[in-house]
Structure 1
């Protein structure tokens, strides 16, 4: 009963939040999307302390969340690959700007669920995409175009991918390994999600069985 009341209060909280702009350029970050993401993160992690403290102010919490991910030092690089510009071979922001724009567009047009989006959400492609996106995150996170709106859309999308991959039956060895790899990549690369440990354990279990 308490869980039902908490859920109702959370949904009521979302319903009264305004749409706001938090220094995110031409596009607008919706408060409802931000607070959905916050409900998926473990805000008790010490590194997210500033985010938790700012919880009641959507503009500030969006800024603190973006600051955290842009300054995050983990996962690290092997000694031979270190360098402040390891993911920035060029300085042309045109590619980063376009990628961010297309990413937002794709997430809006393919929210998941229903026959209209079944091809975009086939499990094997979802697993592959989840893994490849961890590299794309590293490529573009330092760009000024990777703003709070992009970050929230990106993390919510990664969470949705992992949650979807957890529902797969795992009967096809080749396909299942790619799904498990996507689940593992998400869990390891984004330990801030509440379910990351569960995802990681399930991914490793599947890999050990399939191998």
Structure 2
């Protein structure tokens, strides 16, 4: 008999709507997806900084940081990448339940995995932000030297080189990071949140 048969979801006394009322804004996950070097972490942190400066409750879940702790037991093979995204989805869901606007910065290359995470959330709580940047630009930037290692065969299953990246079919927001400034990108995202009455 599996563990799932012996556990029951315990309802909390304080509801998500109560936390929204206290915070003065709704909660959601901003799911930044795109190639390595497209600017996910940079933009997620810029958005977080602006939200914080305006008095909103927010937090960033960054791919590399999570792999230092929670997901340090996972490789970069397809099965472990799938599990990586599932775990992050569950953590992001907890943040959203707590009333926080959480920015998740992960390559998350496969549509199926992103859609599974989307299904964890209520309508309008999952906001997919596709950072559209040509691979040539990402590889030129190569902030962590990963493309160079991938080209040398030192990294297997590297997205965009030896493993595919599946472009989102209908993301809520598209940011062309090779053509837009950080400031303009942040304004576009906050404008979307205000339009959806999250802020």
Q: TM range, normalised to the smaller chain?
A: under 0.3
Normalising by structure 1, we get a TM-score of 0.24
By percentage of residues, which structure has more helix? 1
Normalising by structure 2, we get a TM-score of 0.25
Flag the structure with more relative contact order, 1 or 2, with Cα contacts below 8 A and sequence separation at least 6. Answer: 2
